[in-house]
Amino acid sequence: MTAVAVRKKWHAFIDSLEEKKALTIYTLFEDEIEQGERINVTQYNQELAEAEAEYEKGEFVTHEAMVKQMKKW
């Protein structure tokens, strides 16, 4: 899927959300949205290693669990 196609899907998804859900999702990504800066390869690799370590420790949420959580919003 191209980046343009992904953006179109995200825009359609966001447009379809209730205000409360949209605000909740925005707060999850707020820091990234406001910073808008690129990271270097070293920082990227460090963040990736941290994320992989969390995953290996079982510190993640399954898609099904997230869907259930979102329905409670």
**pLDDT tens per residue, the chain (73 residues)?**
898 888 899 888 888 888 888 888 888 887 776 666 777 899 889 989 999 999 999 998 899 999 998 998 8
Which residue type is seen at 5? A
pTM comes to: 0.43
**Coil, helix or strand at residue 47:** helix
Integer-rounded Cα Rg, in Å, for the chain is 15
40: Cβ–Cβ under 8 A, 6 or more apart, which residues? none
